[in-house]
Amino acid sequence: MDKNWVKVLVAALFEVLWVIGLKHADGFWEWIGTIIAIYISFYLMIMASKQLPVGTVYAVFVGLGTVGTVFADFAFFGVPLQLAKVVLIVILLAGVIGLKLVTEDNVKEGVES
Amino acid sequence: MAWVALVVAGIFEMLGVTMINKLHKDRNLQALILLIISFAASFGFLAYAMGSLPMGVSYAIWTGIGASGGAIIGMILYGESKDWKRIVFITMILGAVIGLKLVS
């Protein structure tokens, strides 16, 4: 897998952490951790978009962050996972995979030009 | 007022996404500062809007304006691919994000 896509994945993971932080952080160190997570996620997302289209990276970043947050709510905070959510997550992940497939071609074209 | 703040938050997010493009193109401090200001303003207005609007609806509209607007500006101003497959996949992702935020 291309390293720019790995950066987007890790950026989304840190996005989940800071979204949880914004909701649940309590006390000085938890807020510091949340701020560090915001910094890391944005840094990686911006670095990934150096070579990939920004619109693509941002959509995947927001999308995977949302899936991660829904999953974290389900796994750690006891929020139910209804069928509608599962269907939407499948559509979203299909979109991410599709975007990855069409973007690889674009990157190659970009290198040639 | 909360709705106005929400739309303004979305527009600032769109600007922030556009500034990422500008940063990679110009590589200067001005673009970086504008990027930070845009996202900070975006979060500020979003937080204000969420004070009186439901969180799911707020987040859905914010993402809807910001991420799709950012993608559209990237295609118009920064030559990002207008391939229909790319547009369909981005729409699937952002549509699902909006749906998830509304359901949650």
Q: What is the ipTM of this complex?
A: 0.93
Whether residues B90 and A99 touch (CB distance < 8 A) is answered with: yes
Q: What is the pLDDT of residue A104?
A: 67
pLDDT means per 10 residues, chain B with 104 residues, are: 95 96 94 96 94 90 94 95 96 96 89
**pLDDT at position B104, please?**
80
Task: Name the interface residues of A facing B (CB cutoff 8 Å).
Answer: 42, 45-46, 49-50, 53-56, 58-60, 62-63, 66-67, 70, 73, 79, 82, 84-85, 88-89, 91-92, 94-96, 98-99, 102-103, 106
B78 to chain A: which residues are within 8 Å by CB? 54
What separation in angstroms does the CA of A73 have from each of A20, A89, B51, B58, B75? 9, 14, 21, 18, 34
pLDDT, tens only, A14-68: 999 998 998 888 999 999 999 999 999 999 999 999 999 999 999 999 999 999 9
Q: What is the pTM of this model?
A: 0.91
Q: Report the candidate in A3, A34, A9, A35 with the shortest Cα–Cα distance to residue A21.
A: A34
Confidence label for A112 from pLDDT (cuts 50, 70 and 90): very low
Is residue A109 classed exposed, middle or buried when 0-12, 13-18 and 19+ CB atoms within 10 A define those classes? exposed
What letters, b where the CB count within 10 A reaches 16 and e where it falls short, cover B39-51?
bebbbebbebbbe
Chain A residues touching B97 at Cβ < 8 A: 62-63, 66, 92
Shortest CA gap B45–chain A (Å): 15
Q: What pLDDT score was predicted for residue A111?
A: 47
What span, in angstroms and rounded, lies between the C-alpha atoms of B101 and A85? 9
